[in-house]
Amino acid sequence: MNMTHYMELLAVNQPWNLIIFMGIPIVLAETLAITELYILFTRKFDGLVGKINRYSGLIVGIYFVGIIIYIVTQAIIPITMAGEWRTIIDVIAVLTYVIGGLPLVWIALQELGIVDKHRDREGKLMVHATCIAIFLIFGHIAMIFGMLDPSILGHEGMAGMKH
């Protein structure tokens, strides 16, 4: 079966790429999402859950800066230059993964006090929740398209590869 570059990235160098590009960011993002729900329902910004929320947001946002730089320089640019995209399925999978990380970067910038300085706690909470929702939408699109076989839109893959 053919696979997207997204799925190939996760499949090679086992288990390290899966941990680096899926495990760590998803655990951090899900921790952020769960603690965000707690804060949304209780409005308890301080305390242990608030600290976990803050630090998971900082860490995952900064972590995604590294992932985005790596994916752009080591995958998007070289694949584009070589004309090696495996149909629009492949493009959507990779680009939505990268785009999905941008709201998490915004959360980290917010936690560092670089953006949204004019917002009160409620306003920042609204931006936080919106960013998490955007991440979840784009992350799931990336996973769905990443698991698709590009041959359904005509990608032939390597010579001799069986479908």
Q: pLDDT (tens digit, 9 = 90+) per residue, 82-120?
A: 999 999 999 999 999 999 999 999 999 999 999 999 999
Residues of the chain under the 70 pLDDT cut:
1, 158-163
Q: Where are the domains of the chain?
A: 5-148
Which residues have CB under 8 Å from 96's CB, separation 6+?
A: 138, 139, 141, 142, 145
Which residues have CB under 8 Å from 47's CB, separation 6+?
A: none
**Is 142 buried (19+), middle (13-18) or exposed (0-12) by CB count in 10 A?**
buried
Phi then psi for 35, rounded to 5 degrees?
A: -65, -30
Say what the pLDDT of residue 158 is: 61
d(CA 106, CA 61): 7
**pTM, entire model:** 0.90
Which two tokens mark 70? 């790596």
Q: pLDDT (tens digit, 9 = 90+) per residue, 75-86?
A: 999 999 999 999
